[in-house]
């Protein structure tokens, strides 16, 4: 996890990396250390995260866990101590301040908890500001476009008021219109509903859902777990690290602290199509969760030949049976032949048993699955 902490890379390397990224947002091994008189504090400890076009990602986690620091890397509001930040093909962390603010104004819409409208400008002037700043759209089109955006968020009648004359929920709608001014592909929101009552928060969230349906990509930090569940994916940040989402989904009874501990223990492994991961008859040593692709569970036949007993896919786990029973693999598991590389995360035997001992709910879940597989004779 801490690999690459001290590696220094040049701007050209970062540009090459950006050209190679298939993701709209690609954070690679980000470390952020704040230096202060009191000493240094590492708020992000080597996190990696990708977001693809059209996703609606919720970032959740306790206060102080590093959520704002993480999204400030994407917006370029702050820079990583090490690691690469690639957004829409641009290595954001290598831009100068001047380049950064123009780039940000064109590619990102940013929405804050406290709206941050300019108090001395009217609502419509606030919405025009990003167009003026980035010199987008012809000057005489800007007011009309701002009015259209205000209509979209149902703020037309407030267009000529000052921000102080409208409610918090209304100010946040205006801030969303402002974020959309230059038609950016990505919206980044830091606790956008954190200062709103639940009814107003719901209305703002509905707007986000409509924007995702209209092809925007949204990354939203939120304290509200009910809202987070309605996003297409949740990313849990804890203590400057990202909890492995496949682990969290596969073993949902683990507490947040247990998820952090186990995430740190996971080994990441990759297998070429057709390559075996475990062999029937050999000692069992690891528990596996599939994070990409599919695997085939194969039972070797006494007379030679094999039966593909089951195909398991991303998010499912295997290898628990051998660890629970007599420590011998009952089946061979290999990366499926058709498809790309298979990626798994693995937990060793001692870590697996410690985990089951620490969480009764997880033990019960894993034993139930193992029991079903044992009776089918189709597992490793």
- Candidates 155, 101, 164; CA nearest to 129 is 101
Instruction: Name the one range near Mg ion by CB under 5 A: 33-41, 62-70, 104-112, 127-135.
Output: 62-70
Q: Does residue 218 contact residue 232 with C-beta atoms inside 8 Å?
A: no
Separation of alpha carbons 32 and 46, rounded Å: 8
List the single partner that 178 binds among Mg ion, ligand ADP, none, CB under 5 to 8 Å by kind.
none
Site string for ligand ADP, 149-188 (x = CB under 6 A): ----------------------------------------
Q: From the list 59, 60, 65, 68, which residue makes contact with Mg ion (rule: CB under 5 A)?
A: 68
Residues 6+ apart with CB under 8 A from 36: none
What H or E segment, with its residue span, contains residue 320? helix 320-324
Distances (CA, A) of 68 to 71, 151, 190, 352: 5, 30, 7, 33
114 binds ligand ADP (CB under 6 A): no
Q: From the list 31, 56, 57, 69, which residue makes contact with ligand ADP (rule: CB under 6 A)?
A: 69
Residues 6+ apart with CB under 8 A from 20: none
Distances (CA, A) of 63 to 67, 221, 351: 8, 11, 28
Site string for ligand ADP, 212-241 (x = CB under 6 A): ------------------------------
34 binds ligand ADP (CB under 6 A): yes
61 binds ligand ADP (CB under 6 A): yes
Q: From the list 11, 16, 41, 308, which residue makes contact with ligand ADP (rule: CB under 6 A)?
A: 41
What is the nearest approach in angstroms of ligand ADP to the Cβ of residue 16? 29
Q: Does residue 37 sit in helix, strand or coil?
A: coil
Which pair of tokens denotes residue 37? 């008189």
Q: From the list 27, 51, 58, 68, which residue makes contact with ligand ADP (rule: CB under 6 A)?
A: 68
Instruction: Name the one range near ligand ADP by CB under 6 A: 60-68, 164-172, 324-332, 354-362.
Output: 60-68
Q: Which residue has the tokens 């492995």?
A: 244
What single string gives the DSSP state of each residue in 205-249? HHHHHHHHHTT-EEEEE-S-HHHHHHSSEEEEEETTEEPPHHHHH
What is the nearest approach in angstroms of ligand ADP to the Cβ of residue 64? 4
List the single partner that 332 binds among ligand ADP, Mg ion, none, CB under 5 to 8 Å by kind.
none
Q: From the list 63, 96, 301, 375, which residue makes contact with ligand ADP (rule: CB under 6 A)?
A: 63
Q: Does residue 276 contact residue 334 with C-beta atoms inside 8 Å?
A: yes
Q: Does residue 342 contact residue 276 with C-beta atoms inside 8 Å?
A: no
Q: Give the torsion sign (CA, 221, 224, 230, 236).
A: positive
Separation of alpha carbons 188 and 57, rounded Å: 10
42 binds ligand ADP (CB under 6 A): no
263 binds Mg ion (CB under 5 A): no
Cβ distance to ligand ADP smaller for residue 92 or 166:
92
Exposed, middle or buried: residue 50 (CB in 10 Å: 0-12, 13-18, 19+)? middle
What is the nearest approach in angstroms of ligand ADP to the Cβ of residue 19? 29
Instruction: Name the one range near ligand ADP by CB under 6 A: 63-71, 175-183, 333-341, 356-364.
Output: 63-71
130 binds ligand ADP (CB under 6 A): no
36 binds ligand ADP (CB under 6 A): yes
65 binds ligand ADP (CB under 6 A): yes
**Binders of ligand ADP in range 356-375 (CB under 6 A):** none
Residue ranges that bind Mg ion, judged by CB under 5 A: 68
Residue ranges that bind ligand ADP, judged by CB under 6 A: 34, 36, 41, 43, 61, 63-69
């Amino acid at each position: 996890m801490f690999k690459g902490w001290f590696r220094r890379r040049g701007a050209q390397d970062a540009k090459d990396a950006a050209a190679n990224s298939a993701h709209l947002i690609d954070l690679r091994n980000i470390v952020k250390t704040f230096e202060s008189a009191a000493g240094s504090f590492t708020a992000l400890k080597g996190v990696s995260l990708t977001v693809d076009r059209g996703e609606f990602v919720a970032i959740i986690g306790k206060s102080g866990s590093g959520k704002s620091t993480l999204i400030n890397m994407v917006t370029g509001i702050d820079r990583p101590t090490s690691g690469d930040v690639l957004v829409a093909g641009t290595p954001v962390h290598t831009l100068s301040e001047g380049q950064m603010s123009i780039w940000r104004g064109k590619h990102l819409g940013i929405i804050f908890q406290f709206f941050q409208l300019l108090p001395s400008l009217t609502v419509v002037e606030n919405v025009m500001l990003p167009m003026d700043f980035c010199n987008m759209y012809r000057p005489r089109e800007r007011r009309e476009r701002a009015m259209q955006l205000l209509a979209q968020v149902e703020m037309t009648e407030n267009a000529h008021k000052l921000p102080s004359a409208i409610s918090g929920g209304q100010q946040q709608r205006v801030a969303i219109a402002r974020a959309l001014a230059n038609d950016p592909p990505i919206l980044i929101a830091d606790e956008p509903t954190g200062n709103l009552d639940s009814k107003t928060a719901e209305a703002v969230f509905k707007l986000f859902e409509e924007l995702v349906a209209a092809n925007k990509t949204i990354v939203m930090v939120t304290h509200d777990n009910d809202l987070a569940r309605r996003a297409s994916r949740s990313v849990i940040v804890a203590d400057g690290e990202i909890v492995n989402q496949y682990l969290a989904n596969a073993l949902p009874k683990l507490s947040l602290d247990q998820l952090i501990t186990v995430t740190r223990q996971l080994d990441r492994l990759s297998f070429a199509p057709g390559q075996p991961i475990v062999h029937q008859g050999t000692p069992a040593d690891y528990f596996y969760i599939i994070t990409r692709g599919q695997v085939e569970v194969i039972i070797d036949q006494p007379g030679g030949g094999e039966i593909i007993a089951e195909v398991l896919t991303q998010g499912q786990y295997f290898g628990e049976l051998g660890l629970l029973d007599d420590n011998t693999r009952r089946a061979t598991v290999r990366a499926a032949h058709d498809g790309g590389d298979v990626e798994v995360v693995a937990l060793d035997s001692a870590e697996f048993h410690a985990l089951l001992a620490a969480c009764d709910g997880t033990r019960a879940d894993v034993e139930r699955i193992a029991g079903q597989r044992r009776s089918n004779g189709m597992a490793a």
